[in-house]
A and B are shown apart, each in its own frame.
Chain A
Amino acid sequence: KAGVTQTPRYLIKTRGQQVTLSCSPISGHRSVSWYQQTPGQGLQFLFEYFSETQRNKGNFPGRFSGRQFSNSRSEMNVSTLELGDSALYLCASSLGGTGEKLFFGSGTQLSVL
């Protein structure tokens, strides 16, 4: 059974640019959530999508957005990049119930110069 796949693995952008990250969940999983991981703040919840609808959202500015497609694949977009957006962005999938374990991808390492 294939795991959660995130692309690209590494990304270098400059301030002011925008970026799109992609996530393919485990087959049959309908929930996809996104997290930002930095050495200082640890793992922070960005948002969760379930059946193409945003079900929950963390405390991040509107520059961070996402969407989910009918095949459960998800994309995350960050517009007007700032230096502080440099982080590992992790995607996780699950069946979608509460209290369920998450399966994480290996992440996209974003560097903003």
Chain B
Amino acid sequence: EDQVTQSPEALRLQEGESSSLNCSYTVSGLRGLFWYRQDPGKGPEFLFTLYSAGEEKEKERLKATLTKKESFLHITAPKPEDSATYLCAVEGGSEKLVFGKGTKLTVNP
């Protein structure tokens, strides 16, 4: 059974304080690892897809990396508007998307 574990559950940062979110996964036949951002009262918003170990993708202050067992979402010099819940998900051979429970990020000004 595909599984995704995200850590930490919650993270508080000061504006400009860089950090990383972790996503550990087990999956049979990885077809894609996804990062989404979810703001309160809204549906998740797509950030990145990673397909194979060693792959990296960047967007503004965010950078996602992938190994065979985990993915990291690095946040460089975060701003208050980066506050949100970040969700990691994997799609394997079952073609069902399995989500982690998310990391709630708060960036204080």
Chain A nearest CB: distance from B60 CB in Å?
Answer: 17
The dominant DSSP class at the A interface is strand
For this complex, 9 residue pairs linking A to B, each with C-beta atoms less than 8 Å apart, are: A35-B99, A43-B44, A43-B99, A48-B96, A56-B95, A102-B34, A104-B44, A104-B45, A107-B42
Q: A4-B43, A105-B43 are in contact. Are A45 and B96 (CB under 8 A)?
A: yes
Whether B45 contacts A42 by the Cβ 8 Å rule is no
Contact partner of A45 (CB less than 8 A), chosen from B41, B87, B97, is B97
**Interface residues on chain B, number (Cβ under 8 Å):** 24
B78-103 interface (Cβ within 8 A of A)? 87, 89, 91, 94-102
Whether A99 contacts B45 by the Cβ 8 Å rule is no
Whether B34 contacts A106 by the Cβ 8 Å rule is no
User: A79-113, CB under 8 A of B: which get 1 and which 0?
Assistant: 00000000000101000001111111111000000
List 14 other contacts, CB 8 Å, given A42-B87, A101-B49: A4-B43, A43-B44, A43-B89, A48-B96, A56-B95, A58-B96, A98-B32, A98-B91, A99-B49, A99-B91, A103-B46, A104-B44, A105-B43, A106-B42
Most buried by B among A35, A101, A106: A101
Most buried by B among A43, A56, A103: A43
Q: Interface residues, chain A, CB within 8 Å of chain B?
A: 4, 33, 35, 41-45, 48, 55-56, 58, 90, 92, 98-107
In the bound complex, residues from chain A placing their C-beta under 8 Å from that of B101 are 41-42
Question: In the complex, which residue of chain A has the Cβ closest to the Cβ of B96?
Answer: A45
Contact of B74 with A by CB under 8 A: no
Contact partner of A90 (CB less than 8 A), chosen from B43, B51, B95, B100, is B43
Whether B43 contacts A42 by the Cβ 8 Å rule is no
Most buried by B among A99, A104, A106: A99
Whether B34 contacts A101 by the Cβ 8 Å rule is yes
